[in-house]
Structure 1
Amino acid sequence: MRFEQPLWLWLLLVAVALVVAYVIAQRRRSAYAVRFATLPMLEKVAPRRPGWRRHAPALAFLAAIVVLTVAIARPVTDVQVPRERATVVVAMDVSNSMASTDVAPNRFEVAKEAATEFVNNLPEQFNVGLVSFARTATVVSPPSTNHQAAVDAIGNLQMADSTAIGEAVLTSLQAIQSLDAQAANDPPPARIVLLSDGANTSGSPIDEGAQAASQAGVPVSTIAYGTPDGTIDLEGRTIPVPADTESLQGLAEATSGSFYSAESDEELRDVYSDLQSSIGWTTEEREITNLVAGIALAAALLAGLASLLWFSRLP
């Protein structure tokens, strides 16, 4: 938190002075009471003492002064606000390694379900597209506000040979740039969310895709999906299919995106949920003077109410 007019914070010294004055007054009051009568007589005159309630209104009033002083200084803090618009391209690996059953029932079915939830939870005004990649990369659903088109496309995905991660990034960028051309005056911010469970074995190198995304200012958030011990059976052979976490992490870091690793159904859904929050919201500085002033008013009202209820007078 910072303050637009921090010089007003010097008024907090007034609150400190009030605390000192209150403590001195209470001590003098106790001293006068002892001088007035003996202790047995005091117990008969005032057998019930208010205890902590005697100080509660004063403390609430002091809190009101402190908070009001903070409000006068015009506090500014970072707050999460929903984005008004954005373009998100979901790039999904559909290589044969997605048939691995290390994630039950298999990686492919879980990935489709999680991606569907992700798309459905994005703000309606966002443009959402889908790119699938195996030996090549294809724009299955161009970015648009028709989220159902992307959901339907996810449900119709089919597996194929090889993994072209670099091509997936380049193809996603083309889909984004094609949409931006239609809104050349003010294109929305864009993000690529890429899931892969293998290594780049086809098409352009990952570095080429990372460089293009970096130059375009489009972050690529990557998800390394599957366990290190995942395997598939191919022509009677058992082939290990671990995700290339190092390359996917490098792609995310090179484009200012985020890297995630998911080895289960629950972890993958958590990743997409976190991505949905980070993409759907942005952090902005907002002045919160009204909020702080409202808290000060509430504290002052509480002080007055407590004093009236307990002592039939205002503090």
Structure 2
Amino acid sequence: MNITNILKELSGHFISLTEHGLKYGPQGKMLLKNLEEQWFLHCITMSRYNIFLSDEFNNTLNFVIKTEMSDVPFGLAKIEDSKNYWTSDLLPMKKPNIHRIAETTIFQNDTETKDLFHNIQKERKIWWRKLAQFPSRFKLTEEKKIKNCNVVDIEAQFSFGNVIVEKIAYHTDVRKLFSQVDSKKDFTNVQMVEHKASLDWGCLALLCDAYDINKSNKMHLHSKLAPHKVAFHIKRTNSEENTQNDDLNRFVLYLNNMLRTKGLNTILTTSEKIINTCLIPFIISVDATSLENGIIYIRDRSTTLSEAIHVTDLVKYIILRC
């Protein structure tokens, strides 16, 4: 089975294939946004170095140097749409593939940059593997020499071909870059490591990774990437009175609003089809006894296990997993 057939079977609400390339549906746009947020959190917010987000590379570099924040290591980052060649040979497209790139460049002393290069390879491979259902498919390629830099790719390996999700480069000569900067500081002993992740190809790889060709299991996305985190299910009995049904409906709305005010995206639906189509990781079940004792049940779609918790622990429970 090739990637075109897989895309036809995947929900068009995520990604579909057009003559111009990949097209995102409503769930796909949210998946892309969540992947970008996870990249930002890991590569900028949680970085061991000072990372400055910028669209204008030279202007930001000038700012960093003039404000005396240029002691290495430090880094610059940007998120942009790019027409650079990627793994577009996997898709039958008539026009250049435009994809969203998240890029980080870290400057370091020449004596430590080689180690930094290898450490970033490990860190970035582990990051992709943590988001995957089949982590072992994300692997590093052999190191290759291109002009004045060494390059290693992270690729997801499939039967239809390999999808490159990130490129990591080690630049030994950065004199030309710093020659454009107005500074008296000596950068002759500075080198840099650059890693570029394609968020679009990353979404595609993670969706294909979640797709089970044998159809033996349901598709699952990592809970951090899932567009909606929680859906609700009300267990009703025929003997229940209308007033109790109204109370259960209000209780679900209360739980829904409690999660949303904490930044957790939920969806109000009673359809099992929608829950499976949207790849929602957690389903909360409530019944008449929930109104009395506050106990609700959370089912994890990936494990199919259900756990009873008190309503006061709901937000903490979901946040820890998402």
TM-score range normalised by the length of the shorter chain = under 0.3
Flag the structure with more relative contact order, 1 or 2, with Cα contacts below 8 A and sequence separation at least 6.
1
Q: Whose helix proportion is higher, 1 or 2?
A: 1
The TM-score with structure 2 as length reference comes to 0.23
Please identify which structure carries the higher strand content: 2
Normalising by structure 1, report the TM-score: 0.23
